[in-house]
Protein backbone atom coordinates (compact mmCIF):
# COMPACT_ATOMS: atom_id res chain seq x y z
CA UNK A 1 0.00 0.00 0.00
CA UNK A 2 1.40 3.39 -0.95
CA UNK A 3 0.38 6.95 -1.70
CA UNK A 4 0.34 7.43 -5.47
CA UNK A 5 1.49 10.61 -7.28
CA UNK A 6 -2.05 11.97 -7.07
CA UNK A 7 -1.92 11.74 -3.26
CA UNK A 8 -4.45 8.92 -2.91
CA UNK A 9 -4.04 5.33 -1.81
CA UNK A 10 -3.00 2.57 -4.22
CA UNK A 11 -1.99 -1.05 -3.83
CA UNK A 12 0.60 -2.91 -5.87
CA UNK A 13 1.23 -6.63 -5.65
CA UNK A 14 2.20 -9.76 -7.53
CA UNK A 15 0.58 -13.18 -7.52
CA UNK A 16 2.73 -16.17 -8.47
CA UNK A 17 1.15 -19.28 -9.94
CA UNK A 18 2.16 -22.71 -11.17
CA UNK A 19 0.68 -23.54 -14.55
CA UNK A 20 0.25 -26.96 -16.19
CA UNK A 21 3.30 -26.46 -18.42
CA UNK A 22 5.62 -25.15 -15.69
CA UNK A 23 6.74 -28.06 -13.49
CA UNK A 24 9.62 -26.23 -11.80
CA UNK A 25 11.79 -23.17 -11.79
CA UNK A 26 10.69 -19.65 -11.08
CA UNK A 27 6.95 -19.13 -11.14
CA UNK A 28 5.26 -16.74 -13.55
CA UNK A 29 3.60 -13.76 -11.89
CA UNK A 30 0.63 -11.53 -12.48
CA UNK A 31 1.19 -7.92 -11.45
CA UNK A 32 -1.73 -6.08 -9.87
CA UNK A 33 -2.08 -2.30 -9.63
CA UNK A 34 -5.18 -1.36 -7.66
CA UNK A 35 -6.47 2.12 -7.00
CA UNK A 36 -9.65 3.72 -5.78
CA UNK A 37 -9.27 7.04 -7.58
CA UNK A 38 -10.34 6.12 -11.11
CA UNK A 39 -13.65 7.01 -12.71
CA UNK A 40 -15.65 4.54 -14.78
CA UNK A 41 -17.71 6.60 -17.22
CA UNK A 42 -19.35 3.87 -19.28
CA UNK A 43 -21.08 0.65 -18.28
CA UNK A 44 -18.81 -2.39 -18.13
CA UNK A 45 -19.36 -5.21 -20.60
CA UNK A 46 -19.39 -8.95 -20.02
CA UNK A 47 -16.80 -10.92 -21.97
CA UNK A 48 -16.02 -14.61 -22.24
CA UNK A 49 -12.68 -15.66 -20.77
CA UNK A 50 -10.73 -17.70 -23.33
CA UNK A 51 -10.22 -21.13 -21.76
CA UNK A 52 -9.46 -23.79 -24.41
CA UNK A 53 -8.80 -26.60 -21.90
CA UNK A 54 -10.91 -29.65 -21.04
CA UNK A 55 -11.71 -28.36 -17.53
CA UNK A 56 -13.64 -25.39 -18.94
CA UNK A 57 -17.02 -25.09 -17.21
CA UNK A 58 -19.98 -25.94 -19.45
CA UNK A 59 -21.45 -22.47 -19.02
CA UNK A 60 -18.09 -20.84 -19.77
CA UNK A 61 -16.25 -18.26 -17.70
CA UNK A 62 -17.26 -14.60 -17.87
CA UNK A 63 -15.79 -11.41 -16.53
CA UNK A 64 -16.95 -7.79 -16.31
CA UNK A 65 -14.52 -5.42 -18.01
CA UNK A 66 -14.14 -1.99 -19.57
CA UNK A 67 -15.82 -1.52 -22.94
CA UNK A 68 -13.58 -0.63 -25.89
CA UNK A 69 -14.30 3.11 -25.72
CA UNK A 70 -13.38 3.21 -22.01
CA UNK A 71 -10.14 1.29 -22.61
CA UNK A 72 -9.15 3.54 -25.52
CA UNK A 73 -9.89 6.75 -23.60
CA UNK A 74 -8.08 5.46 -20.50
CA UNK A 75 -5.02 4.48 -22.54
CA UNK A 76 -4.83 7.94 -24.14
CA UNK A 77 -5.11 9.58 -20.72
CA UNK A 78 -2.50 7.21 -19.26
CA UNK A 79 -0.13 7.92 -22.17
CA UNK A 80 -0.10 11.62 -21.32
CA UNK A 81 0.15 11.05 -17.58
CA UNK A 82 2.86 8.34 -17.61
CA UNK A 83 4.39 8.45 -21.11
CA UNK A 84 5.28 4.75 -21.11
CA UNK A 85 6.09 2.61 -24.18
CA UNK A 86 3.27 0.18 -23.45
CA UNK A 87 0.69 2.98 -23.47
CA UNK A 88 1.95 4.42 -26.78
CA UNK A 89 1.96 0.96 -28.35
CA UNK A 90 -1.57 0.22 -27.11
CA UNK A 91 -3.02 3.60 -28.15
CA UNK A 92 -1.74 3.30 -31.72
CA UNK A 93 -2.60 -0.39 -31.94
CA UNK A 94 -6.19 0.33 -30.85
CA UNK A 95 -6.38 3.25 -33.27
CA UNK A 96 -5.08 1.21 -36.22
CA UNK A 97 -7.13 -1.89 -35.68
CA UNK A 98 -10.38 -1.18 -33.87
CA UNK A 99 -11.22 2.52 -33.76
CA UNK A 100 -13.38 2.60 -36.89
CA UNK A 101 -15.70 0.00 -35.34
CA UNK A 102 -16.50 2.27 -32.38
CA UNK A 103 -17.87 5.74 -31.74
CA UNK A 104 -15.27 8.49 -31.93
CA UNK A 105 -17.70 10.77 -30.07
CA UNK A 106 -18.05 8.34 -27.16
CA UNK A 107 -14.27 7.87 -26.97
CA UNK A 108 -13.71 11.64 -26.96
CA UNK A 109 -16.47 12.29 -24.41
CA UNK A 110 -15.07 9.56 -22.15
CA UNK A 111 -11.55 10.97 -22.46
CA UNK A 112 -12.76 14.46 -21.48
CA UNK A 113 -14.53 13.08 -18.39
CA UNK A 114 -11.47 11.07 -17.33
CA UNK A 115 -9.17 14.07 -17.75
CA UNK A 116 -11.57 16.34 -15.82
CA UNK A 117 -11.70 13.78 -13.00
CA UNK A 118 -7.88 13.78 -12.81
CA UNK A 119 -7.69 17.58 -13.07
CA UNK A 120 -5.61 17.46 -16.24
CA UNK A 121 -6.10 18.99 -19.69
CA UNK A 122 -7.33 16.89 -22.58
CA UNK A 123 -4.17 15.50 -24.26
CA UNK A 124 -2.67 17.12 -27.34
CA UNK A 125 0.44 16.50 -29.38
CA UNK A 126 1.96 19.72 -28.00
CA UNK A 127 1.54 18.44 -24.44
CA UNK A 128 3.18 15.12 -25.32
CA UNK A 129 6.09 16.72 -27.18
CA UNK A 130 6.72 19.10 -24.28
CA UNK A 131 7.02 16.40 -21.64
CA UNK A 132 10.56 15.83 -20.34
CA UNK A 133 9.95 12.04 -20.34
CA UNK A 134 9.71 12.01 -24.16
CA UNK A 135 13.40 11.09 -24.61
CA UNK A 136 13.11 8.28 -22.06
CA UNK A 137 10.01 6.96 -23.82
CA UNK A 138 11.98 6.51 -27.03
CA UNK A 139 15.04 5.14 -25.23
CA UNK A 140 12.94 2.51 -23.41
CA UNK A 141 10.87 1.43 -26.44
CA UNK A 142 13.01 -1.61 -27.29
CA UNK A 143 13.81 -2.51 -23.68
CA UNK A 144 10.19 -2.46 -22.48
CA UNK A 145 8.47 -3.98 -25.52
CA UNK A 146 11.07 -6.02 -27.43
CA UNK A 147 10.38 -9.18 -25.40
CA UNK A 148 6.58 -8.81 -25.71
CA UNK A 149 6.14 -8.28 -29.45
CA UNK A 150 7.61 -10.69 -32.03
CA UNK A 151 8.32 -7.95 -34.60
CA UNK A 152 8.43 -4.66 -32.74
CA UNK A 153 8.05 -1.74 -35.15
CA UNK A 154 10.35 1.25 -34.82
CA UNK A 155 9.37 3.84 -32.20
CA UNK A 156 9.03 6.60 -34.81
CA UNK A 157 6.32 4.68 -36.67
CA UNK A 158 4.13 4.88 -33.59
CA UNK A 159 5.09 8.38 -32.43
CA UNK A 160 4.50 9.87 -35.90
CA UNK A 161 0.97 8.44 -36.00
CA UNK A 162 -0.16 10.35 -32.89
CA UNK A 163 -0.99 13.62 -34.75
CA UNK A 164 -3.32 11.68 -37.07
CA UNK A 165 -4.97 10.05 -34.06
CA UNK A 166 -5.57 13.44 -32.39
CA UNK A 167 -6.95 14.90 -35.65
CA UNK A 168 -9.35 11.97 -35.94
CA UNK A 169 -10.38 12.17 -32.29
CA UNK A 170 -10.78 15.94 -31.90
CA UNK A 171 -11.73 17.09 -35.38
CA UNK A 172 -13.51 14.05 -36.85
CA UNK A 173 -10.98 13.91 -39.67
CA UNK A 174 -11.57 10.71 -41.60
CA UNK A 175 -9.09 8.07 -40.58
CA UNK A 176 -6.72 6.91 -43.28
CA UNK A 177 -6.28 3.16 -43.18
CA UNK A 178 -3.01 2.41 -44.96
CA UNK A 179 -1.63 -1.11 -44.99
CA UNK A 180 0.50 -1.79 -41.93
CA UNK A 181 4.16 -1.38 -42.79
CA UNK A 182 6.66 -2.78 -40.33
CA UNK A 183 10.20 -1.52 -40.49
CA UNK A 184 12.45 -4.12 -38.85
CA UNK A 185 14.76 -3.05 -36.09
CA UNK A 186 18.46 -3.38 -36.66
CA UNK A 187 19.44 -7.04 -36.81
CA UNK A 188 15.82 -8.28 -36.79
CA UNK A 189 13.57 -9.53 -39.52
CA UNK A 190 9.90 -8.68 -39.63
CA UNK A 191 6.95 -10.10 -41.47
CA UNK A 192 3.90 -8.31 -42.74
CA UNK A 193 0.78 -8.18 -40.62
CA UNK A 194 0.06 -6.70 -37.24
CA UNK A 195 2.46 -7.17 -34.34
The answer as to whether 176 is a domain residue is no
User: Is position 62 within any domain?
Assistant: yes
Report the pLDDT value the prediction gives residue 188, as an integer from 0 to 100: 47
What mean pLDDT do residues 47-67 have? 92
Residue 122 lies in a domain: yes
Within-domain flag for 179? no
pLDDT digits (tens, 9 = 90+) for 7-22: 888 899 999 987 777 6
Domain count, the chain: 1
**Is 160 a member of any domain?**
yes
- Please say if the pLDDT value at position 63 is more than 80: yes
The residue-averaged pLDDT of 70-92 equals: 95
- One DSSP character per residue, 140-184 reads HHHHHHTTT-TTPPPHHHHHTTHHHHHHHHHH-PPPP-PPP--PP
Q: Is residue 21 part of a domain?
A: no
Residue 114 lies in a domain: yes
CA distance 113 to 108: 9
Provide the residue range defining the domain that includes 149.
2-14+28-170
165 located within any domain: yes
Amino acid sequence: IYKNPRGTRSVQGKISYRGPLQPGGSLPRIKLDLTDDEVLTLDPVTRVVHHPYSDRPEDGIYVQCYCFEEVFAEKIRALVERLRPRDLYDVIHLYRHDSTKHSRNIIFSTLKKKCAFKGMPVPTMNILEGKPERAELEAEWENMLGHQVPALPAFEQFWQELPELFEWLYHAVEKAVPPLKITPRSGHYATSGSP
